[in-house]
Amino acid sequence: MATTTTPALASGTGRRTAPAAGKRPKNRLDHQYPYWFYLPAAIVYSVLFLVPTFASFYFSLTRWTLFDVEFIGLDNFVAFFQEPALVKGLVNTVIYGVITSGLKVVLGMLLAVLLTSQIIARGYLRSVVFFPVLLSGIGVGIMFQVMMNPEGLINDALGLFGIDGPGWLTNPSLALYSVALIDVWKGVGLATLIYIAGIVSIPREYFEAAKVDGASSTSSFFHIVLPLARPATVTVIILSLIGGLRSFDLIWATTRGGPGFSSDVIASVIYKQYQAGFYGISTAGNVILFILVTAIVVPLFMFLSRKEVDL
Amino acid sequence: MRLRHPSVMAVAAVATLVLSACSAGDLGSSDSDSKGGGKVSLTYLVGNSEASVRSAEQVTKDFMAQNPDITVKIEPRPEGGEGDNLVKTRLSTGEMSEVFGYNTGSLFQQIAPEKNLLPLDDQPWVGQLDENFKKTVTAGGKVYGAPSGAFMAGAVMYNKSVYAKLNLQVPKTWAEFMANNAKIKAAGIDPIVQTYGETWTSQLFVLGDFHNVLINEPDFPEKYTKNQAKYATDPYAIKGFQHQEEAHKAGYFNKDFASAKLDDGVKKIANGDGAHWPILSAVASNIVANYPDKAKDVGMFPLPGDDAADNGMTVWTPGGLYIPKTVEGAKLDAAKKFIAFMASPEGCDSQTKGSAPTGPYAIKSCKLPADVPQVAKDIETWVNKPGASSLALEFLSPIKGPALEQITVEVGSGIRSAKAGAELYDQDVKKQAQQLGLDGW
């Protein structure tokens, strides 16, 4: 897929020559003027993102009650890693992120291949697959909580086939995975959409050439679609991983982190600490989440981008 | 033609800007303000349980009938952890309603009363307060709250007709209780109802057992606050956790205990599909409201300990009504009047009309009518017997950890052993003690 770069600076008025990469016109006015366009966005970004992030780094080292602040060093982080419930939240977060991301990539790709081939009602099916993405997380969570009740709709349906459905949300070993499956149902539409965009942009010549050479459809999938849809795959992995690691509203609406602590993730742990008034520990949890997401996603992004293939 | 489009767009944009300048407040539904003149309007923030809201509606109706120049609007808030969150945040940002209802005891201490609330020592009703209740709304020697609702007990709700049918006696020891449970299970009825879909209800095995701890160790609260006594190592305190574990292991819980909600529990105990339910007696008002002809079938007995002679009920003082420091002027006078009404015999009668009381009121001049539910009558007999009732731990110590409800769900579901659960809770309260800045932690 061709990667396009937009001209970095809109060069003022009526300059006929586009600025070549790395060369700047000598005129000082022209040099300074474009940078001022960054200012509004920079202000919003600093005030709403940079300042709170650095402030939270500071507050995570304190015990505070919104008005009194007491500096205690790394005690909050020590408490976070010593309490089994909090460590479990960390572990669950990684499991949840990896499962939802993996499933969305695989299912999204399969659905995209299906939805870019010649099938009946393709447009309708695309809308049906994408529809859950538009629903509110809380609404989906409450709905599935009712359906996944041990005597609810899903187990009744399974009962028709003679299968004794388990307690999806009440069995502590299943709760997290059930919520992960709900998340995949809800989010796979977005992954499919990105993949469809990626697949559709592959020129038809490749497929035709492959068919002339006698390639089967599986072989053309593995040798044409997969490599050339690489940027789409990277996007889906990164976006779904970030979303999965930060996920909160779905988990809160289905199980509140229950039963007990078995489906707690970092976001719900942070929220519970905040509810109890432990603002310092809750901020420390947020810092840990920030570090976790950055530490996983940044190296992954660099690794995956290196292998991008240009058309 | 092309030139008209930009001007039409400009007009549309300006019109939208003008509309956005209208603030929603002016278009609000405040009928009192539209009348002009001296009408004061108050907001009363109250927990959103059925009983609280009904009681609050009745009281505000009667109060407004007596005081036509004051309107009181009810604002419900969630209960449990989310309610704590809301109250603490609003107090910190100075946006609390003129009157709000919240817990007393340790949760009251956690909202920094001396900083956020108005002391009400000078009010006429302070002399009528029950002594135990006064202790739970006092900080730094001053009284900050009036009672809202009645005393309630954390004990075992039981279905009297099941007991009559199977010829059982009210158990005085844990062994007798378990023997009763075995007979009830043999008869095909769920011996103990649990409703972990509503997580706070899982705590009663531990919290309701506190009388049995206090009567054997009267200094437990002080030692606990100073980090010298712990649930995991104290032989009496850990019994609550152990009982819950034992009851689960014996298979005495209802089949859907993990997902049952509060209303499911009410239905079971009222209809006799479940025999016992360790719960707060306030739930009896749900029975009266939804199954009024079954209310006489449901009674209450205290969680039994090991010794029949020590049997007694753990009681909770009613919630408190508070005024934040930010209220002034005419609204302050109106708020004080409202609270004085709640704390008077007329206020008590009004609350009784709204929601059946499940215990005695905390105002000495308020008397319980004769037609209260059976649960309230049972509690009254225990409260009136000297030495047969104690305040729950949260009123004798400022420390209560936020994760107890999750830990007891784990113990009751068999996910964690009683000892591990007790240890986890001790770790949990450490955070709370440190946040409050207590010594010894």
Tens of pLDDT, residues A66-123? 667 888 888 888 888 887 778 888 899 999 999 999 999 999 999 999 999 888 999 9
Same structural domain, B95 and B160: no
| CA-based nearest residue in chain B for residue A258 | B406
Distance from CA of B277 to the nearest CA of A (A): 20
Q: Which of A149, A259, A262 sits opposite B196 (nearest CB)?
A: A259
Is the CB of residue A162 less than 8 Å away from at least one CB of chain B?
A: no
Distance from CA of A120 to the nearest CA of B (A): 42
pLDDT at B2: 52
pLDDT at A301: 85
pLDDT tier, A30 (very low <50, low <70, confident <90, very high otherwise): low
pLDDT at B381: 83
Same structural domain, B289 and B331: no
pLDDT at A25: 53
Same structural domain, B274 and B423: yes
Average pLDDT, chain A: 85
Domain membership flag for residue B21: no
Domain membership flag for residue B216: yes
Is the CB of residue A277 less than 8 Å away from at least one CB of chain B?
A: yes
Q: Which of A246, A125, A233, A126 is nearest to A183 (CA)?
A: A246
| CA-based nearest residue in chain B for residue A146 | B259
Q: Which residues of chain A lie closer than 8 angstroms to B87, CB-CB?
A: none
Higher pLDDT, A183 or B371: A183
Please indicate whether, in this complex, the C-beta atoms of B431 and A281 are within 8 angstroms of each other: yes
Please indicate whether, in this complex, the C-beta atoms of B256 and A85 are within 8 angstroms of each other: no
- Considering its fold, how many domains does chain B have in total? 2
Please indicate whether, in this complex, the C-beta atoms of A272 and B403 are within 8 angstroms of each other: yes
Higher pLDDT, A100 or A8: A100
Cα distance between residue A212 and residue B119, in whole Å: 89
Q: Which of B82, B88, B406 sits opposite A258 (nearest CB)?
A: B406
Please indicate whether, in this complex, the C-beta atoms of B403 and A172 are within 8 angstroms of each other: no
Q: At B382, which amino acid appears?
A: W
DSSP output for A217-273: HHHHIIIIIHHHTHHHHHHHHHHHHHHHHH--HHHHHHTTT-STTTT--HHHHHHHH
pLDDT at A189: 94
Q: Which residues of chain B lie closer than 8 angstroms to A262, CB-CB?
A: 415
Site from B89, B259, B427 to mutate, A interface, most A CB atoms within 10 angstroms: B259
pLDDT at A162: 87
Cis previous bond, A259, omega within 30: yes
Site from A149, A169, A269, A279 to mutate, B interface, most B CB atoms within 10 angstroms: A149
Cα distance between residue A198 and residue A193, in whole Å: 9
Same structural domain, B282 and B340: no
Q: Which residues in chain B show pLDDT less than 70?
A: 1-5, 7, 11-12, 14-16, 18-38
Domain membership flag for residue B430: yes
Structural domain harbouring B74? 32-151+317-354
pLDDT at B4: 57
pLDDT at A256: 87
Q: How many helices (H) and strands (E) does chain B have?
A: 21, 13
State the pTM of this model: 0.77
Q: Which residues of chain B lie closer than 8 angstroms to A257, CB-CB?
A: 406
Higher pLDDT, A307 or A262: A262
A214 CB contacts (<8 Å, ≥6 apart)?
Answer: none
Of how many residues is chain A composed? 311
Same structural domain, B309 and B431: yes
Question: Which segment of A19-23, A255-259, B96-100 scores lowest on mean pLDDT?
Answer: A19-23
pLDDT at A9: 44
Q: Which residues of chain A lie closer than 8 angstroms to B81, CB-CB?
A: 272, 275-276
Q: Which residues of chain B lie closer than 8 angstroms to A274, CB-CB?
A: 85
CB pairs under 8 A between A and B: 77
CATH number, residue B238? 3.40.190.10
CB of B302 within 8 A of CB of B155?
A: yes
Task: Tell me the CATH number of domain A87-306, given options 1.10.10.10, 3.40.50.720, 1.10.3720.10, 1.10.357.10.
Answer: 1.10.3720.10
Please indicate whether, in this complex, the C-beta atoms of B427 and A83 are within 8 angstroms of each other: yes
Please indicate whether, in this complex, the C-beta atoms of A275 and B81 are within 8 angstroms of each other: yes
pLDDT at B398: 83
Other CB atoms closer than 10 Å to residue B79's CB: what's the count? 15
Domain membership flag for residue B12: no
A286 CB contacts (<8 Å, ≥6 apart)?
Answer: A56, A60, A270
Report the pLDDT averaged over residues A127-156: 92
pLDDT at B422: 94
Structural domain spans, chain A: 87-306
| CA-based nearest residue in chain A for residue B80 | A275
Q: Which of B81, B92, B256 sits opposite A272 (nearest CB)?
A: B81
Question: Which segment of A182-186, A303-307, B1-5, B268-272 scores lowest on mean pLDDT?
Answer: B1-5
pLDDT tier, A5 (very low <50, low <70, confident <90, very high otherwise): very low
Cα distance between residue A161 and residue A140, in whole Å: 25
pLDDT at A59: 87
Q: At B336, which amino acid appears?
A: K
pLDDT at A100: 96
Higher pLDDT, A14 or B227: B227
CB of B172 within 8 A of CB of B263?
A: no
Please indicate whether, in this complex, the C-beta atoms of A149 and B259 are within 8 angstroms of each other: yes
Please indicate whether, in this complex, the C-beta atoms of A167 and B259 are within 8 angstroms of each other: yes
